[in-house]
Amino acid sequence: MANRFDKVISLEEALTYFHDGMTLLAGGFGGVGNPPTLIQGILDKGVRDITLISNDTAFPHIGVGKLVTERRVKKVIASHIGSNPNAGAQMTAGELEVEFCPQGILAERIRAGGVGLGGILSDIGIGTIAEKGKEKVIVDGKAYLLETPLTAEVAIVYAKKADRFGNLVYDTSARNFNPLVAMAGDVTIVEAEEIVEIGELDPEEIVTPGVFVQGIVQSEGVNWQWAWEK
């Protein structure tokens, strides 16, 4: 891995952290904010049996949806999968395990994992099938479900800009889950559109501090027209 101050690495070095059976956290929302170069690298390496934690399963040929379409994912923890019919078909066929989580709770579970909390308490789902398998906690006479934190062996995020230490700036809505995901990986790999020298970013625009980042890869971009046509 790169040294403590210069974390820029090659794609090949980044891919050494991805392996069969791994847990993977991915930033993004509907494919926007998914890191395309890293995802393609995972596909090219042949990694499979992934437990994927992401807001959604994107679209069949966009973002993390490609991992699902190519049957590299054995389990997904997400708020929805409706935009990717391949995910739904695999779930129905018993080929893909899906754990649904309300979007806000999913975000909070990832945040809890990133900051080292033992979980969060929520009354969402009390009295429904959402209680199944969850611990119930009573606080001041009110019942809550304990939602456990989420972490992963590797977290992948996408940034508009990164300096060489790993301080990150995001592009509008592509920010989405990325700052939370960046905190919750044992190793966090960033794919950046642009890499600048330390000191070039305005401190006021930095969203994710470099302390959470272990590696930075230069993005090769993605042909979005091709992806949508697929």
d(CA 124, CA 160): 34
Closest of 159, 197, 164 to residue 178, by C-alpha: 159
What local confidence, expressed as pLDDT, does residue 1 receive? 55
Quick: pLDDT tens for 30-66.
Answer: 999 999 999 999 999 999 999 999 999 999 999 999 9
List the alpha helices (DSSP H) in the chain: 11-14, 36-45, 65-69, 85-92, 103-115, 178-183, 224-229
Query: By percentage, how much of the chain surpasses pLDDT 90?
Result: 90
Please state, in angstroms and as integers, the Cα–Cα distance from residue 219 to each residue in 8, 68, 95, 191, 194, following that order. 12, 21, 32, 5, 8
Domains of the chain from N-terminus onward:
11-116+150-219 (3.40.1080.10)
Number of Cβ within 10 Å of residue 135's Cβ equals: 12
Residue 173 neighbours by CB under 8 Å, 6+ apart: 29, 32, 33
What local confidence, expressed as pLDDT, does residue 190 receive? 98
Quick: pLDDT tens for 180-205.
Answer: 999 999 999 999 999 999 999 999 99
What local confidence, expressed as pLDDT, does residue 2 receive? 54
What local confidence, expressed as pLDDT, does residue 130 receive? 85
Quick: pLDDT tens for 124-155.
Answer: 999 998 888 999 999 999 999 999 999 999 99
Model confidence at 223, pLDDT cuts 50, 70, 90, reads low
- The answer to whether 66 and 39 have CB atoms below 8 angstroms apart is yes
d(CA 108, CA 11): 30
pTM over 0.85: yes
